């Protein structure tokens, strides 16, 4: 059975010694961290990270309400929907 999940993620814009990039995390999945050179790329790779982190997990974590999250000025919240089949979909 294929299961679709929707999670909010925090995408943070960075300008530091490593350059300009976007990092993605999710309080729903504490170990999930990924990045991209653009906002859209970070969002795409956050889907891959969620699928990879949750592969074999059951039950899946319940999505949290991002309205209670404390954000920094470089943070933006967006939701991503993943289809729990396989991380191979991102190859």
Q: Are 77 and 39 in contact (CB under 8 A)?
A: no
| Residue 90: pLDDT over 90 | no
Tokens, residue 42: 């970070």
Q: What pLDDT, on the 0 to 100 scale, is given for residue 58? A: 82
User: How many angstroms separate the CA atoms of 62 and 72, rounded?
Assistant: 24
Q: Are 41 and 22 in contact (CB under 8 A)?
A: yes
Q: Closest Cα partner for 61 from 41, 89, 31?
A: 31
- Burial class of residue 36 in the structure, from the number of CB atoms within 10 Å of its CB (0-12 exposed, 13-18 middle, 19+ buried): middle
Its pTM stands at 0.84
Q: What is the pLDDT of residues 9-23, one digit of tens each?
A: 999 999 989 899 999
Q: What is the pLDDT of residues 30-83, one digit of tens each?
A: 889 999 999 999 999 999 999 999 988 888 999 999 998 999 999 999 999 998
Give the chain's domains with CATH numbers.
3-90 (3.30.160.250)
């Amino acid at each position: 059975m294929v299961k679709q999940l929707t999670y909010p993620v925090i995408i943070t814009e960075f300008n530091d010694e490593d350059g300009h990039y976007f990092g993605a995390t999710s309080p729903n999945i504490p170990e999930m961290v990924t990045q991209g050179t653009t906002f859209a790329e970070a969002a795409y790779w956050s889907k891959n990270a969620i699928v990879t982190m949750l592969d074999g997990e059951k039950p899946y974590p319940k999505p949290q309400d991002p309205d209670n999250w404390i954000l920094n000025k470089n943070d933006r919240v967006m939701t991503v929907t993943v289809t729990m089949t396989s991380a191979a979909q991102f190859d």
